[in-house]
Amino acid sequence: MALVRVALDARSYDIIIEEGALDRAAAHLAQYARKDRLVVVTDANVARAQLPRLQASLRGAGIALEPIILPAGEQTKSWRHLEQLLDALLALEIERGDHVVALGGGVIGDLVGFAASILKRGCHFIQVPTTLLAQVDSSVGGKTAINAKAGKNLIGSFYQPSLVLIDPSTLDSLPPRETRAGYAEVVKYGLIDDPDFFAWCEAEGYRLLDGDSGARAYAIERSVQAKAAIVADDERETSGRRALLNLGHTFGHALEADTGFSDLLLHGEGVAAGMALAFRYSARLGLCPAADAERVTAHLKSVGLPHNLASAHVKADGAALVAHMLHDKKMAAGTLPFLLARGIGQTFLSKDVALDDVAAFLNEDRAAA
């Protein structure tokens, strides 16, 4: 078992990484049960694959599991399903001192966290992420949200969980495409400020994708250590350091918007293509060696992740994609900060990027593909 602490004073919490943790969940969750029950929110797919394991562990400890099962997919991060979830939690008479368990990927974690932040002005919640993307990224750090017509994650709050319980064995039930999408967020940590970890990804990442438990555990622990350190230093993106975690997301969210936030392009796939675009744009500006941009593109392509507009199934031109970016929640005083790079492991925040130049770059990049 590995333990990573997110140090946020009174809001500090632990991240537990343990193979098979779901089968021993009662040992970790019993202290959070009230009236010998825990309410668990999940989606239909995870309910079939993982809920019985959690239920068996809790039952063995005399804890009743009250499930709320929502539809699977990005569309569940919506006003409609937020209302459905809140009504269900109120019907179960959730109190401020109760803990709601989010069992699932990033959609369930984001939705449950946001619901917990506003239910009765705030109850508690626990993250039990079951996808690689959620385990290495979205379950840690307290960003919660739903999507709006105008864009992704535009309605939400910063609200930290009480615990993150990660069981890498849940990844065994995922389709390979889901694991690859999560792997993009693993690669991101190397590209931000850890070139040695990116080199590890180039050499060993295929083992993680093939289900090697050692590679999987190493990558998860290394990733959450990196995120925990950044979140502890800049919980609400006030200093700018946490913004580094958005590498690839400004481009990526625009690509997701163009594909209708659908299964045509998963979030992690959009991030992968976004990171490749960010590095190639940095090279175009003369900030980043072309060889580094080529390494990033080559690695993402080698593991089957989108690396350009065509492989991301994006048909819009540069101007249309930039129009999507104008809805980005990071917009400030009419300026959109961009995550660019001076090289692998040298990501930085730029606040003087000309959006018309970004549009021109996207058109050039499509033509060059």
Q: Which of 143, 188, 222, 280 is catalytic?
A: 143
Is residue 242 annotated as part of the catalytic site, yes or no? Answer: yes
Q: Which of 99, 180, 227, 280 is catalytic?
A: 227
Cα torsion 112, 160, 66, 119: sign: negative
Q: What is the DSSP string of 297-362?
A: HHHHHHTT---STTTTT----HHHHHHHHTT-TT-BTTB--EEEESSTT-EEEES---HHHHHHHH
Is residue 267 annotated as part of the catalytic site, yes or no? Answer: yes
Is residue 246 annotated as part of the catalytic site, yes or no? Answer: yes
Q: Which of 53, 222, 267, 307 is catalytic?
A: 267
Is residue 185 annotated as part of the catalytic site, yes or no? Answer: yes
Cα torsion 214, 216, 217, 221: sign: positive
Is residue 249 annotated as part of the catalytic site, yes or no? Answer: yes
Q: Which of 28, 188, 249, 280 is catalytic?
A: 249
Q: How far apart are CA 64 and CA 55, in angstroms?
A: 8
Is residue 237 annotated as part of the catalytic site, yes or no? Answer: yes
Q: Which of 18, 246, 280, 308 is catalytic?
A: 246
Is residue 253 annotated as part of the catalytic site, yes or no? Answer: yes
Q: Which of 178, 185, 221, 235 is catalytic?
A: 185
Q: Which of 18, 237, 256, 269 is catalytic?
A: 237
Report helix, strand or coil for 151: strand
Q: How far apart are CA 265 and CA 320, in angstroms?
A: 17
In order of 3, 15, 125, 217, 233, the CA distances from 7 in angstroms are: 12, 11, 17, 22, 9
Q: Which of 242, 299, 307, 324 is catalytic?
A: 242
Is residue 299 annotated as part of the catalytic site, yes or no? Answer: no
Q: Where are the alpha helices (DSSP H) in 16-142?
A: 25-29, 44-49, 51-60, 79-91, 106-118, 132-133
Closest by CA position to 188, among listed 256, 248, 273:
248
Q: Which of 28, 81, 253, 280 is catalytic?
A: 253
63 beta partners = none
Is residue 235 annotated as part of the catalytic site, yes or no? Answer: no
The catalytic residues are 121, 143, 185, 227, 237, 242, 246, 249, 253, 267
